[in-house]
Amino acid sequence: MSVGIKVRDNESIDRALRRFKRAVNRSRVLRIFRTNMAYVKPSEERRLAKEKALRNARKRNRYY
């Protein structure tokens, strides 16, 4: 998965760099890279997924 942009005519490098950073954040490349940096045991993945599901369920059940 690669992210790239084309620098437009008369576009400053700063603006192009800002567009590139935004594209990288939207594509979630860094998030995937960081999760693959360290091995996580399957049991740990299940535990974390269960905790995340509980947090999301609590958020959905809140009253506003």
pLDDT at position 37 is 94
pLDDT at position 1 is 67
Residue 14 pLDDT class (50, 70, 90 cuts): very high
pLDDT at position 3 is 86
pLDDT digits (tens, 9 = 90+) for 16-56: 999 999 999 999 989 999 989 999 999 999 999 999 999 99
Quote the CA–CA distance of 35 and 32 in Å, as a whole number: 5
Query: Cβ(35)–Cβ(49) under 8 Å?
Result: no
Quote the CA–CA distance of 9 and 4 in Å, as a whole number: 16
Please determine, for residue 64, whether its predicted confidence score (pLDDT) is greater than 90: no
Q: Where are the alpha helices (DSSP H) in 1-64?
A: 13-27, 29-35, 42-60
> Higher-confidence residue: 64 or 6?
6
